[in-house]
Structure 1
């Protein structure tokens, strides 16, 4: 294989990999949750958006063991919800020269989203 072909394939792989990881909803939600509080150990936990689903209060309470599996015995032995977000997975890809267009969107529910059981938040912000 010619060196130019190898370089082209490496560049193409890099572009594809960047496109996949650039819109990582989990990482975006984690950053939003972390920025929404002043202290504590924070996890963004996925939530199914649909009627009759568990509230973020319940999801956070149930997620404490998976949270502690990440960070150990620091923080509280219980987790509580302090905010909730809906990440809209439909997003566009902007070219570097494009300006003035939305790339993606999230709805911030605040603490009242912690009690919501219908389709609304799809990420719960949990703090231990």
Structure 2
């Protein structure tokens, strides 16, 4: 076998144990940003703002307004941690999550 094939096999064997790590903030921002792709509304700036779990809690539309008068909520997401599930997972609430006061969404998608 050629040395290149050996290097490839060693590389692939080593990759099996590699675990990619992403923060919940990065995942939330990626979801919020991806959601604006192809939408009818163009957002020059997109934020994923953390929302504290309290019951009743602040509405995402109010949290977005706190970021600036021109920001508004276009989605709310819940990013589950790895301790809850084997892999990172997310649930999108869409526009209905912007008015949620229950402990559900832990990130607000805000656009300007």
- The question of a shared fold, defined as TM-score above 0.5 by the shorter chain, is answered with yes
The residue that corresponds to 2:28 in the other structure is 29
How does 1:1-128 map onto structure 2 within 5 Å? 22-38=21-37, 39-40=42-43, 41-64=45-68, 78-91=70-83, 103-128=87-112
CA RMSD of aligned residues (A): 2.3
- Aligned residue pairs total 90
Normalised to the residue count of structure 2, the TM-score between the two structures is 0.72
* SS at structure 2 position matched to 1:83: strand
Structure 1 runs (4+) greater than 6 angstroms displaced: none
Gaps of 5+ in 2: 1-17
Gaps of 5+ in 1: 1-17, 65-76, 93-101
Normalised to the residue count of structure 1, the TM-score between the two structures is 0.63
